[in-house]
Amino acid sequence: MTRLSRDEWREREAAHATRANALTAEHRARRQSGEKHPVWDFLFTYYSVKPSLMARWHPGAGVVLEGAADEPRAGFRWYAPGPDAGSLVVDDAAFDREMPVLSRLIEIMLRRTAERAGQFDCFGLHEWAMVYRQGEHRHPQPLRLGQAGTDEVVDAHDLRCTHFDAFRFYTPAAIPLNRTQLTRDDQPDREQPGCLHAGMDVYKWAIKLGPLVPGELMLDAYELARDIRLLDMEAAPYDLSDFGVEPVRIETTEGKAEYVARQRAFAERANALRHRILTAWRGSEIGVGLSETVAAG
């Protein structure tokens, strides 16, 4: 059982808050002025995490915080009295008891995704499929190739999306073009580490685990999601030049090569984070206990 003295965890708590506040400073400034941003707002709206919650440090599952019982965190969910007087511990067993379905889902998604081979031939066309042959779009930014040019790019490629939460936003005309018809129920069987959105969702799983994931690890997952989000929008069909975003032209050979190279690097980072989350939460590396988890699913 890992123990942190009051001085140790207070130091980590302060460092975490400083780092989190730096990461969210621009978003908080935009929010105060009412400014919208087509790239970065997604990280706070889609994942529904407030900067104030990001700045809240947690130690991770099973970690004992000495001298913490008189702190506000004593009232946080998943905290319990520790083995020593005045201490607190993050109780992962309580999470399993109270949230058994979510707990099992998160473990399955982390393990199964990491165990699969990555696919690197989608070229970010999910964003193009979301505007395919449709005059009105979810985002107000113009299409850099126009509607006809965008449709031609989709028509010239094979749609190979494996991520349901991207597929569900396809236009009606694009849905039958995807190589696989995806559903929510088969998401654990389709997710693979090459997918940009699966990489961003490592942050989602870390958020849902809350105090069971060390705060430093949660922010690492946020930084990965931020970096992936940039590529996702650079490769999208939108003209984002007003926001300083230069396109990765995936309709060209050179653009495809750049996209895949960065996609592979993100897949490695995402799998490393999946490993770290499972180790911090379950105390086991990816692959350990996988057969039991799959059977339970």
* DSSP, residue by residue, 24-79: HHHHHHHHHHT---TTTTHHHHTS---HHHHT-----TT-EETT-TTSGGGGSTTE
Q: Is residue 148 part of a domain?
A: no
Along the chain (297 residues), what's the average pLDDT of each consecutive run of 10 residues?
Answer: 94 98 97 95 94 96 96 95 95 95 96 96 97 88 96 98 97 97 95 97 97 98 98 98 96 98 98 97 60 32
**Rounded-to-10 torsion of CA 36, 48, 120, 234:** 10
Q: Is residue 137 part of a domain?
A: no
Task: Tally the domains of the chain.
Answer: 1
Give residues with Cβ within 8 angstroms of 237, minimum separation 6: 127, 128, 131, 143, 144, 145, 150, 153
| Residues in the chain, overall count | 297
Q: Is residue 67 part of a domain?
A: yes
> What single-letter DSSP state applies at residue 239?
-
Q: Give residue 1's pLDDT.
A: 74
Give residues with Cβ within 8 angstroms of 147, minimum separation 6: 131, 133, 135
Residue 64 token pair? 């004992």
Sign of the torsion formed by the C-alpha atoms of 58, 61, 67 and 73: positive
Sign of the torsion formed by the C-alpha atoms of 75, 57, 275 and 23: positive
Reported for 19-22, long-range contacts at CB under 8 A and 24+ positions apart, including other chains, are: 19/216, 19/219, 20/51, 20/54, 20/55, 20/215, 20/219, 21/51, 21/55
What three-state secondary structure class fits 218? helix
Q: How far apart are CA 39 and CA 153, in angstroms?
A: 22
Cα 68 versus chain centre, distance? 30
**281 neighbors 110 (Cβ within 8 angstroms):** no
**114 neighbors 275 (Cβ within 8 angstroms):** yes
Q: How far apart are CA 24 and CA 29, in angstroms?
A: 9
Which residue is listed with tokens 């400073």?
25
**178 neighbors 159 (Cβ within 8 angstroms):** yes
Q: Is residue 151 part of a domain?
A: no
Q: Give residue 296's pLDDT.
A: 31
Q: How far apart are CA 199 and CA 179, in angstroms?
A: 21
Residue 118 token pair? 């990555």
Pairing mode of beta strands 3-4, 64-65: parallel
Query: Residue 213 belongs to what domain range?
Result: 3-121+185-296
Q: Is residue 174 part of a domain?
A: no
Q: Give residue 139's pLDDT.
A: 84
**How many C-beta neighbours within 10 Å does residue 44 have?**
18
